[in-house]
Structure 1
Amino acid sequence: MRLLATTDSTALARAYRDNREHLAPWEPSRDDAFFTPAGQSEQISTHVAGLASGTEVPWVMTTEERIVGAITLTGIVRGPFLSAHVGYWVDARLQGQGVCSGALRAALLHARDELGLHRVQASVLPRNAPSRAVLDRAGFTVIGLAPSYLRIAGAWQDHLLYQRILT
């Protein structure tokens, strides 16, 4: 796992293309441009700007050969809240091998030790058993159900809200 770099557009586009069908049920609908290096360059610019402003920390999960996933702390809030949201995905070929669990552990340590956050939240579709298992293993607890929370795969869908208190 390493920070997302501005030079990752081609590799990240490839990773998203390789996993387009795998990720489609769990993510917003994407137009074809998203899966191109130019589309990823735009996305990366947004993430890098968030990193510079202190509102997010974007990482990619890698092997020696390629990008195999991403994990991002977003919506970082300071003051009395000291909170962030986490989102992640991993290549279909690596699901169930602990890649996301390891990345999430590292992200939580960074959130606590480097950012001084108190809480990290995640949202997940109730039927996404693999993602729910990752959160359960990382010590997250369900704090509620948000009806019609996010537009995923072209429809407003309910999400379970999870949190992990870090301090």
Structure 2
Amino acid sequence: MLIAPDIEMRRATVDDAQALAEAQVRNKEHLRSTEPHREAEFYTAEGQVERITGAGSDTWLLVDRAADGIVVGRLMLNGIVMGPLCGASLGYWVDGGYAGRGLTTAAVEEIIRICRDEIGLHRIEAGTLTDNFASQRVLTKCGFERYGLSAKYLHINGAWRDHIRFERLLHDDPPPHVPK
């Protein structure tokens, strides 16, 4: 699906492992302050295949240039749970060379639509480092509301870091298979 004239978002497959590894290498410094420590294997095609195939209930979507398939971002829906929760946690990043162009906002808006209309989720949660103002702006623009702070939530860039927690309620319909 196109999210900008020359940018598409699509589900990741093992065929994307090399392009994703190249994007991770290209953005290593750009993402250092917001990502956990990564072993050298992470930056290889094999390491990316492991992540894509080991995702379990997670869904990976790639943002890439439609013309040549160069990966310029990734979104992850983690811990998708149906039943009475019907929720998931959202993570994302965009290539440093594409930051500030509205791509992240467009991609998050599209993932909201997918979660609501195709998967049937009731809620999406996301967290940002307390000083990641760009990501907080994206979430706010996309209708997420701040609901709390998780102390020392993730080990990022060498330290346990606090995260501001956001949520977006997508609808008030009952879960699938529950009478209305």
TM bracket, shorter-chain basis: over 0.9
Counterpart residue number, 1:105: 109
Larger radius of gyration, structure 1 or 2?
2
Counterpart residue number, 1:45: 53
**Aligned residues: percent identity?**
40
Give CA deviations for 1:62-104 in whole Å, capped at 9, x if unaligned: 0022010100111111111111000000000100101111110
* Aligned residues: CA RMSD: 0.8
Counterpart residue number, 1:153: 157
Which of 109, 129, 153 is the aligned partner of 2:133? 129
AA at the equivalent of 1:60? L
In 2: Cα distance, 1:126 partner to 1:16 partner: 23
Per-residue deviation, 1:127? 0.3
Aligned length: 161
Gaps of 5+ in 1: none
- In the superposition, the TM-score normalised over structure 2's length comes to 0.87
Listed as ranges, the matches of 1:23-62 within 5 Å are 23-47=31-55, 50=56, 55-62=57-64
Gaps of 5+ in 2: 1-8, 172-180
Runs of 4+ in structure 1 displaced over 3 angstroms? Answer: none
Give CA deviations for 1:19-73 in whole Å, capped at 9, x if unaligned: 00000110110111111111111111113xx2xxxx2221000002201010011
Listed as ranges, the matches of 1:62-141 within 5 Å are 62-63=64-65, 64-65=67-68, 66-141=70-145
In 2: Cα distance, 1:116 partner to 1:39 partner: 31
